[in-house]
Amino acid sequence: MASVPHIAVIGGGSTGIGIARDLAMRGLDVTLVEQGNLTHGTTGRMHGLLHSGGRYAVSDQASANECIEENKVLRDIASHCVEMTGGMFVKRPEDTEEYFEEKLEGCKACDIPAEVISGEEARAIEPHLARDIDKAITVPDGAIDPFRLVVANAASAEEHGARIETHSKVTDLVVEDDEVVGVEVEHQTGPDKKVRGTEGGTEQIRADYVVNATGAWAGRIGDMANVDIEVRPSKGVMTIMNIRQVDTVINRCRPKGDADIIVPHETTAILGTTDEEVDDPEDYPEEGWEVELMIDTLKELVPMLEEARTIRSFWGVRPLYEPPDVGSDDPTDITRDYFLLDHEERDDLHGMTSIVGGKFTTYRMMGEEISDHVCDQFGIDAECRTAEVPLPGSEDFSVLRDYMDEFGLRSPIGRRSVERLGSRAEDVLNTDGPNPTVCECEAVTRAEIKDAISQSGANLNAVRIRTRASMGNCQGGFCCNRMASELHGEFDEQITREAWDALLQERWKGQRHALWGQQLSQAALNYALHATTQNRDNDPADGEPVDFAAFDSGPTPTGTSGQTGVVTDGGTRDGD
């Protein structure tokens, strides 16, 4: 092989993007294709826990070891995505003493720093903990923002020459003589799609090697080349609270069970989760009782959750895998470890490897292992540097906090902006023009929105995951229109309207699961506001081009919105 090998990576979740960055940094030629936005899959619907390994310290020590190792690495290379909140395993009177001891021993065995504290000490750290918590084990759990992390990985991969194609679905594998030699890709058309890649149409991307990092979808890619990959998708619900009732990760110290963890995430707290096998990773029921279960069970740890405001709920699907000979019945028994499936060894199919299972926390380690494997195929001896080189945004971030005043922003707004932007803060926030706050709930200013638009084009859901704009308590009621108006100048009306509609649809999706009490008032207010000021009640003039005369003839029963089937990143299901 004379020239640099070209590797095609399928899947823009944490696993795929980690592989792309690693291979690009080792000097390989990389193309990553993702059917939706980055984080369209499970990565965009996870809990945001940077595992210390404590959760696996009893049941799965191999995973626990990997977690603590990567936990340390990510604190370093991704400091602007990580908040070291610390965590604890709390024991209620009905939880067994034996398990508590096992947990402690397990942590020690895996070199996870763990200490026992009394119930009082735990409440001194987290005052809203239930009065009857006996004691707790502290561990170095943290919170991590998956969106920011994946975007930063993508930026780094691109800096090293990788091509990242979002909204590009692999429809087939190109197989010649039992060897995968490329992928058929369908690029989405439509103006609100990311503008950086090739727009519209199909493309055959030839590659010297293909990596299948499609998580819960891995079996479908396998099917394209007639190989079996038995991923067992298992769904889990997560419920987002309006505020952080806790500033520390709170785990329940008992063997396994639903609803046993609360993770402080940015301005919110996320309750989770369940573990239930589903047939189709894209089409499964989202049920009200699951949300109630979260609140009803976790209020045993933090009683105020019962009265607290819930802003939305979402579901994710674990790409669990177990070697065919294990045969667990219960998905909670399936290992959380990852597997590298070399199809040459396994199925006599050359040119492709799949990576399945694993966790977000260990994404980098998985990337390293698979990159080693790919390099081996070509006899390349290049060193992995992803554990040392900080991600864009995490270089020398600490000094910046001292200069926050210079951006002329009010205290919590500047503070939050800098936390999100990390070392990029100066470039992004030092603007000449006025810099009003666009999203008040999450303190996102125009400068940050503009910066996100420059990265993702007229795709407001992509802007959202980069900035958190519209993710606060009004759930976009007051800022979606402002975000859309930031597209003015660069994009025409039609594109802007589509991007705006897609954002509103996505915001509505998760809120449907929180329609009681305060969030119901919010939704009612948002509706009234959007109907009366933005014509969201589908006045007949809401066509294209706008038929202003139609305002006079009153509404017709058929509206243009009411679109269903949106997923977390605002794309439609199945990436189309």
Partner 1 sequence: MESAFEPTEPNTGEEFEPVDVFPDSDDFDLRPGSDSCYKCSTCDTNCPVAEVDDEFPGPKFQGPEQWRLKQSEDDYDIDDSVMDCSNCMRCDNACPAGVPLSQMHNTARGEYVSEQMDHLSIEYWRNRILSNYRTSAWLASKTPRLANFAMNLGPARWLMEKTMGVTKEREFPEFATETFREWWDKRGAAAGSKERAQAARRERGLPEDADKKVAYFHGCYSNYNTTEVGKAMVRVYEHFGYEVVVPEQGCSGTPMFANGMLEDARRHAEVNVSSMSDLVDQGYDAIASCTSCSMALRQEYPELFDIDGIDDLAANTFESIEYLRIHEDIREEIQAAEVSGELADEFAYHAPCHSRNQGLDRQAVELFRELDGAGIEDVGESCSGISGTYGWKAEKYEKSMKIGDEMFDHMEHAEGETGMTECPTCAMQMEHGTGYDIRHPLELVEAALVDGHAV
Ligand X SMILES: Cc1cc2nc3c(=O)[nH]c(=O)nc-3n(C[C@H](O)[C@H](O)[C@H](O)COP(=O)(O)OP(=O)(O)OC[C@H]3O[C@@H](n4cnc5c(N)ncnc54)[C@H](O)[C@@H]3O)c2cc1C
Contacts to ligand X by CB under 6 A: 10-16, 33-36, 40-43, 46-49, 51, 169-170, 213-217, 236, 238, 273, 316-319, 358-361, 575
In the list 295, 387, 389, 550, the residue contacting partner 1 (rule: CB under 8 A) is 295
* Interface pattern 302-321 for partner 1 (x via CB under 8 A): --x-xxxxx-----------
Q: Is 296 in the site for partner 1 (CB under 8 A)?
A: yes
Rounded to an integer, what distance in angstroms lies between the CA atom of residue 503 and that of residue 439? 14
CA 318, CA 274: separation in Å to the nearest integer? 11
Tell me whether residue 323 or residue 436 sits nearer to ligand X (CB atom).
323
**Per CB under 8 A, 109 contacts partner 1:** no
Nearer to partner 1, 61 or 518 (CB): 518
CB of 109 to ligand X, least distance (A): 20
Q: Phi and psi at residue 420, in whole multiples of 5°? A: -75, -40
With CB under 5 to 8 Å by kind, the binding choice for 520 among partner 1, ligand X, none is partner 1
Nearer to ligand X, 75 or 424 (CB): 75
Query: How many CB atoms within 10 Å of residue 39?
Result: 27
Number of C-alpha atoms within 13 angstroms, CB side, residue 554?
A: 1
Beta bridge partners of 269: 241, 264
Sign of the dihedral defined by the CA atoms of residues 131, 137, 139, 144, in that order: negative
Which CB atom, from 190 or from 517, has the smaller least distance to partner 1?
517
Nearer to partner 1, 59 or 297 (CB): 297
> Contact with partner 1 (CB under 8 A): which of 115, 159, 280, 292?
292
- 332, 445, 522, 568: which one binds partner 1 (CB under 8 A): 522
Q: Which is nearer to partner 1, 19 or 421 (CB)?
A: 421
Name which of 536, 568, 394, 574 is nearest 464 in CA terms: 568
Quick one: tokens of 510? 């998760």
Pick one of 110, 443, 483, 503: the residue that binds partner 1 (CB under 8 A). Answer: 443
Angle between helices 363-377 and 14-25 (to 10 degrees): 50
Q: Are 152 and 79 in contact (CB under 8 A)?
A: no
C-beta of residue 169 within 8 angstroms of C-beta of residue 184: no
Taking residues 246 to 285 in sequence order and writing x for each that binds partner 1 by CB under 8 A, - otherwise, the string is: -x-------------------x------------------
Binding residue for partner 1, selected from 440, 490, 537, 539, defined by CB under 8 A: 440
| CA–CA dist 310, 313 (Å, integer) | 8
Of 178, 145, 124, 171, the C-alpha closest to 393 is 145
Indicate the residue type of 90: V
- Smallest separation (angstroms) from ligand X to the CB of 246: 15
Closer residue to partner 1 (CB): 411 or 563 = 411
* Residues 467-496: x where in contact with partner 1 by CB under 8 A, - otherwise, as a string: -----xxx--xx------------------
Residue 243, contacted partner among partner 1, ligand X, none, CB below 5-8 A by kind: partner 1
How near is the Cβ of 484 to partner 1 at its closest, in Å?
18
Binding site partner of 295, from ligand X, partner 1, none, Cβ cut-off 5-8 A by kind: partner 1
Residue nearest to ligand X (CB): 13
CB of 524 to ligand X, least distance (A): 30
Residue 119 φ/ψ region, left for φ over 0, alpha for ψ in the -120 to 50 degree band, beta for the rest: alpha
By the 8 A CB rule, do 8 and 31 touch? yes
* Residue 292 beta carbon to partner 1: minimum distance, rounded to whole angstroms: 5
The one-character DSSP state at 256 is S
Binding of partner 1 by 403 (CB under 8 A): no
Work out what residue 478 binds among ligand X, partner 1, none; the CB cut-off runs from 5 to 8 Å by kind: partner 1
Picked from ligand X, partner 1, none, the partner binding residue 307 (CB below 5 to 8 A depending on kind) is partner 1
Alpha carbon distance, N-terminus to C-terminus of the chain = 36
245 binds partner 1 (CB under 8 A): yes
Query: Which tokens is 469 given?
Result: 């704009």
Q: Which does 200 bind (CB under 5 to 8 A by kind): partner 1, ligand X, none?
A: none
Nearest of 461, 462, 432, 465 to residue 446 by alpha carbon: 432
How many binding residues for partner 1 (CB under 8 A)?
41
Nearer to ligand X, 12 or 106 (CB): 12
> In 184-285, which residue ranges form alpha helices assigned H by DSSP?
218-224
Read off the tokens for 339.
């597997």
Which of 338, 500 has the CB closer to ligand X? 338
Please check whether residue 59 is in contact with residue 67, taking contact to mean a CB–CB distance below 8 angstroms. Answer: no
Cα Rg for the chain, rounded, in angstroms? 24
> Sign of the CA dihedral 371, 357, 264, 90?
negative
Dihedral sign of CA atoms 500, 501, 504, 506 in order: negative
Binders of partner 1 in range 499-518 (CB under 8 A): 516-518
| Nearest to 254, CA basis, from 136, 129, 335, 139 | 136
CB 220 within 8 A of CB 10: no
- In angstroms, give the least distance from the CB of 417 to partner 1: 11
List the Cα angle 105/320/41 in 5-degree steps. Answer: 115
What are the CA-CA distances from residue 2 to residues 5, 6, 174, 375, 378 (Å)?
8, 12, 22, 15, 11
Binding flag, residue 131, partner 1 (CB under 8 A)? no
535 binds partner 1 (CB under 8 A): no
Chain residues binding partner 1 by CB under 8 A are 124, 127-128, 242-245, 247, 267, 292, 295-296, 304, 306-310, 401, 410-413, 415-416, 440-443, 472-474, 477-478, 516-518, 520-522, 525
